[in-house]
Amino acid sequence: MIAFIDEYRDRFSVEFICTTLNKQRQGGFITSRGYRNAKYGTPSARSIRDRELVAAIRQVHAANYGVYGVRKMWHALSRRGQQVGREQTARLMRLAGVSGKGKGRSPITTHKARREDTRPDLVHRQFRAAGPNRLWVADITYVRTRAGFVYTAFVTDVFSRKIVGWALSDSMRTEALPLQALNQAITSAKKTAGVIHHSDHGSQYVSIVYNDRLTDAGITPSTGTVGIPTITH
C-alpha cells in the first residue's frame, strides 16, 4: 500500500489517494496520517498490537482449516490469553484477509419422483423382522466434509440392525449411489428371494432402473406414507 501511494503521489495528492482507497477497501488502513506515520513515524502501540494479533489470527485460522468466523476466532483468541473485543476481532480478521466458511444450506436427499409411485406399504410402521434378510430399509443421508458434501446411501437389515449395503458419492444419481448400496446388499445376502425392501418416496427409489434390480433379485418393494421411522425390535 505504501509503495502504491509512493508511485502515484507525484500525480495525485496523498489525501486524494487515501480517500479513494478507503472507498474501495475491504478493511484496514489507510488515512493520510496513517501513511505518513507508516512511512516516517514510529509505529504506535496500537499498530504494533494489531500486527501481533493479525499474525495470531492467521495462525489460528490456518490451524483450524480456514473455517473460523468472527465468533469462534474471538473465543480462540480469548483462550490464548489475548483479550480482544468481538468487533475488534472482526476488524483484525479483515486486516488479516481471512473469513469463516458458512455452513450454507443443507443438501436435499429426497427428490420427489416424476413418475407415479405404485409401491404398496407392506410394513405399516411395524419395523420388526423374524430373521435376517426378511426386511431391509434403504435411505440416503449426507456427510459434511471440508471439500463439501458427500452423500451416503445405505441398506439396513431390520433384524440385525446392521448395514448390509452402502455407497458414497458426491452426486445423487441413481446409478452412482443407492443402486450401488443395493447391489452390495444383494451380493452380501446371496439369497434375497422374499426380502421386503422399504424406502421413502424419493425419485432414486422409484426409478425404473432401481426397481428392475429389485425384481431381478426377487425382492419386493415397499414404501411408507410419510418418511421412515426409527427401526425398533
- Residue 41 CA to residue 32 CA, distance in Å, equals 12
The overall pTM is greater than 0.85: no
Same-domain check for residues 197 and 115: yes
Same-domain check for residues 110 and 192: yes
Residues in Cβ contact with 221 at an 8 Å cutoff, skipping those fewer than 6 apart? 119, 197, 199, 205, 211, 214
Question: Which H or E run includes 101?
Answer: none
The last residue of a domain, from among 96, 129, 161: 96
Give the pLDDT of residue 133: 95
Give the pLDDT of residue 48: 84
Q: How many domains does the chain have?
A: 2
Same-domain check for residues 226 and 114: yes
Same-domain check for residues 42 and 142: no
Q: What is the CATH number of the domain that holds 175?
A: 3.30.420.10
Same-domain check for residues 177 and 85: no
pLDDT tens, per residue, the chain with 233 residues: 667 777 777 777 777 777 776 665 544 456 777 766 666 666 678 888 888 999 999 999 888 878 788 888 998 998 888 888 988 999 999 888 888 765 555 555 455 555 667 889 999 888 899 999 999 999 988 776 666 678 889 999 999 999 999 998 876 655 668 899 999 999 999 899 999 999 988 878 888 889 999 999 999 999 987 544 444 44
Q: Give me the domain span that covers residue 34.
A: 2-96
Is the Cα torsion angle 81, 84, 90, 92 positive or negative in sign? Answer: negative
Same-domain check for residues 24 and 109: no
Give the pLDDT of residue 192: 95
Same-domain check for residues 38 and 141: no
Cα angle, residue 152 at apex, residues 150 and 154 outer, rounded to 5°:
175
Same-domain check for residues 53 and 137: no
- Residue 190 CA to residue 162 CA, distance in Å, equals 16
69, 174, 195 from 135: Cα distances, Å: 45, 21, 6
What region, left, alpha or beta, does residue 194 occupy, with left being phi > 0 and alpha being psi -120 to 50 degrees?
left
Same-domain check for residues 114 and 214: yes
Question: Which H or E run includes 154?
Answer: strand 148-157
